[in-house]
Amino acid sequence: MYPIGYILLMYSIYTTEVFDDWFTKLKDQQAKRRIQVRIDRVEDGNFGDTEPVGEGVSELRFFFGPGYRIYYCKQGQRVVILLAGGDKSTQSKDIKLALQLAQDLEEEL
């Protein structure tokens, strides 16, 4: 037998105030726990079901509750910024907000 080597890619996770406000206001505690588990997996490099929404922004898709979404972008090779959150019912508005937040971050850097 030969040992199998794995390369573990870790990401640093940062959040915006917009994301923090959304996450704090979530009332469904079970959903919050499940979302936090997903964020922890992203930190380990396992993004799961994602979909690009444009201009370097993608969404993490959740298939429980009202269809939660987290919008994020990557900076460099190992940094993920959680921009905003929402659900399927506010998706269009949330995408516009996330794109604007990503553009604002790009201008700051």
The domain that contains 71 carries what CATH number? Answer: 3.30.2310.20
- Which residue ranges in the chain fall short of pLDDT 70? 1-8
Q: Is 85 exposed, middle or buried (0-12, 13-18, 19+ CB in 10 A)?
A: buried
Sequence-ordered list of residues with C-beta below 8 angstroms from that of 13, at least 6 positions apart, any chain: 39, 42, 43, 80, 81, 82
Give the range of the structural domain holding residue 73, as residue numbers without chain letter.
12-104
Report the number of distinct structural domains present in the chain: 1
Cα angle: 77, vertex 79, 84; to 5 degrees:
135
pLDDT of residue 1: 55
Residue 2, domain member (yes or no): no
Residue 6, domain member (yes or no): no
The SS3 assignment for 5 reads coil
How far apart are alpha carbons 103 and 31 in whole angstroms? 29
pTM, whole model, 2 decimals? 0.91
72-98 pLDDT, tens digit each? 999 988 999 999 999 999 999 999 999
